[in-house]
Amino acid sequence: MEKSKIGRRFEGKVAIVTASTQGIGFSIAQRLALEGASVVISSRKQSVYIRDEHIIILFSFQKNVDEAVEKLKAQGIQVLGLVCHVSNAQQRKDLIECTVQKYGKIDVIVSNAAANPSVDAILDSHESTLDKLWEVNVKTSILLIQDASPHLTKGSSIVFISSISAYQPPAAMAMYGVTKTALLGLTKALATEMAPHTRVNCVAPGTVPTRFASFITNNDIIRNSIEEKTPLKRLGTPEDMAAATAFLASDEASYITGETIVVAGGMSSRL
């Protein structure tokens, strides 16, 4: 979205967005920044294998973070980019500490990191798969807020990114959906616990054609079926999710806490 077409609701504020170097997370960080926020983006380390005739060399670096930072800086955005695998306790703490060292406070946290390592039925899922889903999708969201809570300003805002699958977990990603359901409950619980100084809300995206959802959206039959079942007859965009997140994080939503907004083009199992 062009800077001239949006407001400045986050002027002077500091926002952390996890898993934010591409897709929905990147669009959220971009939107908050274009509205005036100093944003801190992060992503897990990226590994690249280079093969020649005899050896495979593994390099770990933060190329994805650096590329995202450059894209945002090219738009005149104030941004700090850090490597942060949310399951790594030290990297989570570094994310918070580096933010506070540079900006002195935290006004907004958007917890966007998620994993979906399997399409197995729940009763066929390995214990290691269940552990990873709960750890990345639920547990680390809690631990991140624990680390950040001493630095949150009065009037701060937290937004969890859930999924429409939280309401009706689909067979091919049922356990993923269950973890996203847990975020709805976490939103309610923390909204009560952190009131009145911090608001806690949630966005539940519908189907968005990102790399994370490519196994669904790259299949023309599945994609067309979803579009046909959606009242607005299209898939969502990262910008749609960013707009809803920005609203909940902004002072325009100052009397909203403990709520989830479904952003799915009208497709929902809720009344």
- The residues that are catalytic are 176
Evaluated on CA atoms 176, 40, 36, 195, the torsion sign reads positive
Beta bridge partner(s), residue 153: none
User: Which residues, other chains included, contact 89 with Cβ-Cβ below 8 Å and sequence gap of 6+?
Assistant: 143
Cβ count within 10 A of residue 7:
12
Per residue, the 3-state secondary structure of 133-176, as one string, reads: HHHHHHHHHHHHHHHHHHHEEEEEEEEEECCHHHCCCCHHHHHH
Q: Per the structure block, which two tokens stand in for 1? A: 């979205």
Spatial distance between the Cα atoms of 179 and 176, rounded to a whole number of angstroms:
5
Q: Per the structure block, which two tokens stand in for 187? A: 């939103």
Evaluated on CA atoms 201, 138, 94, 49, the torsion sign reads negative
| Residue 270, CA atoms < 13 Å, CB-side half-sphere | 11
Cβ count within 10 A of residue 256:
14
